[in-house]
Amino acid sequence: MFGTPEIRPLCWVEHMSLDNETGLDPCGIRVRPVSGLVAADYFAPGYFVWAVLIANLARIGYEDKTMYMAAYDWRLSFQNTEVRDQTLSRIKSNIELLVATNGGRKVVVIPHSMGVLYFLHFMKWVEAPAPMGGGGGPDWCSKHIKAVVNIGGPFLGVPKAIAGLFSAEAKDIAVARALAPGFLDNDIFQFQTLQHVMRMSRTWDSTMSMIPRGGNTIWGGLDWSPEEGNSCAKKREKKNETQIADQAGSENAVCKAKSANYGRIISFGKDVAEAPSSDIERIDFRGAIKGHSAANTTCRDVWTEYHDMGFAGIKAVAEYKTYTADSLVDLLHFVAPKMMARGTAHFSYGVADNLDDPKYKHYKYWSNPLETRLPNAPDMEIYSLYGVGLPTERAYVYKLSPHAECSIPFKIDTSADDEDTCLRDGVYSVDGDETVPVLSAGFMCAKGWRGKTRFNPSGIRTYIREYNHLPPANLLEGRGTLSGAHVDIMGNFALIEDVIRIAAGASGEELGGDQVYSKIFNWSENINLQLDEEIPVHSSS
């Protein structure tokens, strides 16, 4: 279907959209994922995804009967892949078959990107009792999984998901990557290209799995963020675990120069993004009454939920001035209530106070690592492999669109720039792989799951393996063999070597433990998150 967007764009959008009420198939349309290794070897001719890694696994003896590509419809909410396609049951059956036909040896699971969240959901689903879960019992993961090797995992979500849902503008959201070259540049839908994209992507419940999780506790507030003092350009040196500890003192002495307020994920105006919080006058949008906008017959009507907000609702959003992670979910409920009604039935974005609360048995919490426990599998290992050294979207400067009646009423202010605070074209960047910030990819393995914590009660060993991005040396290298970019890292020689060694039986210690170039351990320490199980306090008169 790769050429379809350019040849028959409206037909493509119609078939790729899901039902806006159910999040499942629209009436009369059925699109399904391809099965087998070819499902994700190449995204398009010449553009590899899993192909290089599959070829290298074949070199050490893997073949069809010892490899399984767990293809799934990435548009659906994770639980709905089971409702419609029984995808989770198929993964369970195939893992059991691989173990049974290979002498009882456990599997190595290698998820990438959203697949990382999908497999977190699977590990809870497979052990949960039917009918909500797979009925595998509390020791299923321990019996069947040797290691989970996560690549580019957005464990705690990605800020660019907010920009994609809010204004369909994030620089390289998944939907834009799925479009033919020149799709947006040619403006084949004329004035309303982005509205068509928004209408389609807002029917994909899976996009809401990427909304930042953990609120201000993880992502920072109006006046702080874990990455405070981040520098845009700094030479990286590989650090082992002892060097990481030695670095902690020097990091605290970093000059308190002008730095970005990363906790303000959306700000209306550069002045608001930079101002002291005490100087910002805000009017709460939550109780605002939405108005009505007069229909403009000169605009082709592509319905988005913004049509129901009217000018009063649009003004209320802008007058709140700046949004942190805590208020972003409320913002999306205000601007896209129909989308969020579906999404919040399947996903949650908080931090659990008490994981023994029966509500956390519901599937909406299973892909949030801050609201669920890892399985009881002390012999299992969990890796977080990801690229660093690339500017990655973290916060945005917005403005009102001058044509709000016809188009999406909010847009990134691309005129906003400031080298000192990593602000370029209206986007504040931080270290990451161009898609997932270091904080999201690394925090759980650096701190949230490190050792025995309330999120990892059995003490599953966790390892971080970072790969410092180096661009291709020449045109013959193609996308590069040392790339740290979100998709291109699948061809990174160092990452492939690590995956091959794990697949051949090596442990994390045999790989050398953590391999870190970023400040993930320092940034993780800046996050005040309860990691111990709460001990009930009893009082007597």
- Please give the positions annotated as active site: 113, 433, 486
Residue 217 β-bridge partners: none
Q: Which helix (H) or strand (E) holds 274?
A: helix 270-274
Is 330:216 a contact under the CB 8 Å cutoff?
no
Cα 314 from Cα 404, distance rounded (Å): 9
Is 461:146 a contact under the CB 8 Å cutoff?
no
Cα 164 from Cα 408, distance rounded (Å): 12
Q: Which helix (H) or strand (E) holds 494?
A: helix 493-503
Q: Which amino acid, 455? A: F
Helices (H), 69-192: 78-85, 87-100, 114-127, 140-144, 159-167, 174-177, 183-186
Residues ≥6 apart with Cβ < 8 Å to 6: 180, 182, 183, 186, 188
Q: Which amino acid, 502? A: I
Distances 296 to 52, 166, 196, 405, 407 between C-alpha atoms, Å: 51, 22, 17, 7, 11
